[in-house]
């Protein structure tokens, strides 16, 4: 591809990511408020701080390019965040809510991983070395967040299964429980 076309594509995709990250900064406080698990809430809080850093890294890249980061709205991220918001509004049971929040957050991470993977390849082809290193740092952080969410999903869902099992155990008539003895 002609180098100035690639550069155009690079800047457009960076704008898309800038819009996506800015939307996440606004959405995460709502997710923090909605989360019932302490660990999940702490994870979202940590990721909010990280996301602010992702916005700053993009601003740094735009500054070096002499371009404005504004002017584009990432509709993909808008849709993902809207879906997450609708799930919260349905007012599910606490474990279901946390599982739903994790699922929404992982969709967001995967979307970002795809975006950062592409722009870091473009930056490499364009020999924008400084940008390559900044974009790869963010890409790594998005991957780490995704892994942490997978671990949280396992522990939170396990807790939910365990508490359901003990509830069932308590409500079961005594006779049935001792019938075997
Ligand atoms: Fe991010």
Ligand 1 centre distance from Cα of residue 54 (Å): 5
Q: Evaluate whether 58 touches 21 at the Cβ level (below 8 Å).
A: yes
Instruction: State the pTM of this model.
Output: 0.87
pLDDT tens for 90-113 read 999 988 999 999 999 999 999 999
Ligand 1 centre distance from Cα of residue 112 (Å): 6
Ligand 1 centre distance from Cα of residue 123 (Å): 18
Q: Is the pLDDT of residue 175 over 60?
A: no
pLDDT tens for 64-81 read 999 999 999 999 999 999
CATH fourth-level superfamily of 3-166: Ferritin, core subunit, four-helix bundle (1.20.1260.10)
């Amino acid at each position: 591809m002609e180098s100035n076309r690639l550069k155009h594509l690079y800047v457009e995709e960076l704008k898309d990511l800038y819009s996506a990250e800015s939307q996440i900064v606004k959405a995460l406080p709502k997710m923090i408020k909605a989360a019932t698990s302490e660990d999940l809430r702490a994870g979202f809080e940590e990721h909010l701080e990280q996301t602010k850093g992702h916005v700053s890294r993009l601003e740094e890249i735009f500054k070096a390019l002499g371009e404005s980061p504004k002017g584009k709205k990432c509709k993909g991220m808008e849709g993902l965040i809207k879906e997450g918001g609708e799930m919260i509004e349905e007012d599910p049971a606490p474990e279901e809510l946390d599982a739903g929040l994790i699922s929404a957050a992982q969709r967001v991470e995967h979307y970002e991983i795809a975006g950062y993977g592409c722009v870091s390849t473009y930056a490499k082809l364009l020999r924008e070395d400084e940008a390559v290193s900044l974009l790869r740092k963010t890409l790594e952080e998005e991957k780490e967040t995704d892994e942490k969410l997978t671990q949280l999903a396992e522990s939170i869902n396990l807790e939910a299964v365990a508490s359901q099992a003990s509830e069932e155990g308590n409500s079961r008539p005594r006779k049935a429980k001792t019938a075997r003895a």
